[in-house]
Protein backbone atom coordinates (compact mmCIF):
# COMPACT_ATOMS: atom_id res chain seq x y z
CA UNK A 1 0.00 0.00 0.00
CA UNK A 2 2.77 2.40 0.95
CA UNK A 3 4.77 1.61 -2.21
CA UNK A 4 1.69 2.19 -4.37
CA UNK A 5 1.11 5.56 -2.70
CA UNK A 6 4.71 6.62 -3.34
CA UNK A 7 4.52 5.47 -6.95
CA UNK A 8 1.29 7.43 -7.39
CA UNK A 9 2.95 10.52 -5.92
CA UNK A 10 5.88 10.16 -8.32
CA UNK A 11 3.55 9.84 -11.29
CA UNK A 12 1.58 12.94 -10.30
CA UNK A 13 4.31 15.23 -8.93
CA UNK A 14 7.39 13.74 -10.55
CA UNK A 15 10.28 12.26 -8.60
CA UNK A 16 13.57 14.07 -8.31
CA UNK A 17 16.70 12.37 -9.51
CA UNK A 18 19.01 11.22 -6.76
CA UNK A 19 22.10 11.40 -8.94
CA UNK A 20 24.74 13.79 -7.61
CA UNK A 21 25.27 16.93 -9.66
CA UNK A 22 28.35 17.19 -11.82
CA UNK A 23 30.51 20.25 -12.40
CA UNK A 24 28.94 23.32 -13.94
CA UNK A 25 30.27 25.12 -17.03
CA UNK A 26 32.53 27.39 -14.97
CA UNK A 27 34.15 24.51 -13.08
CA UNK A 28 34.64 22.51 -16.28
CA UNK A 29 36.19 25.52 -18.06
CA UNK A 30 38.62 26.00 -15.15
CA UNK A 31 39.67 22.34 -15.31
CA UNK A 32 40.20 22.56 -19.07
CA UNK A 33 42.27 25.74 -18.70
CA UNK A 34 44.49 24.05 -16.11
CA UNK A 35 44.97 21.03 -18.40
CA UNK A 36 45.78 23.11 -21.46
CA UNK A 37 46.95 26.60 -20.55
CA UNK A 38 46.40 29.40 -23.01
CA UNK A 39 43.16 30.87 -24.24
CA UNK A 40 40.32 30.23 -21.76
CA UNK A 41 37.72 27.92 -23.32
CA UNK A 42 34.28 29.25 -24.18
CA UNK A 43 31.76 26.50 -23.44
CA UNK A 44 28.03 25.99 -23.85
CA UNK A 45 25.56 23.12 -23.54
CA UNK A 46 27.57 21.55 -20.69
CA UNK A 47 25.91 18.31 -19.60
CA UNK A 48 27.74 16.21 -17.00
CA UNK A 49 26.09 12.88 -16.22
CA UNK A 50 26.93 10.77 -13.19
CA UNK A 51 28.29 7.27 -13.88
CA UNK A 52 26.77 5.10 -11.11
CA UNK A 53 29.02 2.11 -11.85
CA UNK A 54 32.11 4.22 -11.13
CA UNK A 55 30.82 5.99 -8.04
CA UNK A 56 32.85 9.21 -8.32
CA UNK A 57 32.91 9.89 -12.07
CA UNK A 58 30.90 11.99 -14.51
CA UNK A 59 30.85 12.03 -18.33
CA UNK A 60 30.75 15.62 -19.52
CA UNK A 61 29.58 16.52 -23.00
CA UNK A 62 29.79 20.12 -24.12
CA UNK A 63 30.39 22.46 -27.02
CA UNK A 64 33.52 24.56 -27.19
CA UNK A 65 33.92 27.56 -29.44
CA UNK A 66 36.85 27.27 -31.84
CA UNK A 67 38.87 30.37 -32.75
CA UNK A 68 37.02 30.36 -36.10
CA UNK A 69 33.78 30.93 -34.20
CA UNK A 70 32.30 27.49 -34.90
CA UNK A 71 31.04 25.29 -32.05
CA UNK A 72 32.58 21.83 -31.67
CA UNK A 73 31.04 18.97 -29.70
CA UNK A 74 33.48 17.45 -27.23
CA UNK A 75 33.44 15.23 -24.17
CA UNK A 76 35.64 14.36 -21.24
CA UNK A 77 35.42 12.52 -17.93
CA UNK A 78 35.85 14.04 -14.49
CA UNK A 79 36.00 12.67 -10.96
CA UNK A 80 35.03 14.15 -7.61
CA UNK A 81 37.63 13.89 -4.89
CA UNK A 82 38.43 15.46 -1.56
CA UNK A 83 39.92 18.57 -3.19
CA UNK A 84 37.16 19.04 -5.76
CA UNK A 85 36.91 18.10 -9.43
CA UNK A 86 39.68 16.42 -11.41
CA UNK A 87 39.92 15.69 -15.13
CA UNK A 88 40.55 11.98 -15.66
CA UNK A 89 40.55 11.99 -19.45
CA UNK A 90 42.46 13.86 -22.11
CA UNK A 91 41.12 17.14 -23.40
CA UNK A 92 40.63 17.71 -27.10
CA UNK A 93 40.90 21.18 -28.59
CA UNK A 94 38.00 22.64 -30.52
CA UNK A 95 40.49 24.20 -32.95
CA UNK A 96 41.91 20.76 -33.81
CA UNK A 97 38.47 19.46 -34.76
CA UNK A 98 36.83 22.48 -36.39
CA UNK A 99 36.57 23.11 -40.11
Q: For 6-36, what is each residue's pLDDT tens digit?
A: 444 455 555 555 788 999 999 999 999 999 8
Domain count within the chain: 1
For position 12, what pLDDT does the model report?
52
Domain assignment present for residue 6? The answer is: no
Domain assignment present for residue 85? The answer is: yes
Domain assignment present for residue 71? The answer is: yes
Domain assignment present for residue 10? The answer is: no
Domain assignment present for residue 14? The answer is: no
Domain assignment present for residue 4? The answer is: no
Please count the CA atoms within 13 angstroms of the CA of 24 that sit on its side-chain side: 1
Domain assignment present for residue 77? The answer is: yes
Provide DSSP, 39-65. Answer: SPP-EEEEEEEEETTTSSEEEEEEEEE
* pLDDT band per the 50, 70, 90 thresholds, residue 72: very high
Residues 70, 98 contacting (CB under 8 angstroms): yes
Whole-prediction pTM = 0.76
For position 60, what pLDDT does the model report?
97
Domain range for residue 31? 19-97
Other CB atoms within 10 Å distance of the CB of residue 68 = 11
| Per-residue pLDDT tens digits for 48-66 | 999 999 889 999 999 999 9
Domain assignment present for residue 13? The answer is: no
Amino acid sequence: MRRAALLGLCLVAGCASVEPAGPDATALAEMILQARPGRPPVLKDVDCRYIPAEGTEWRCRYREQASSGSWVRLETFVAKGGDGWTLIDGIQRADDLSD
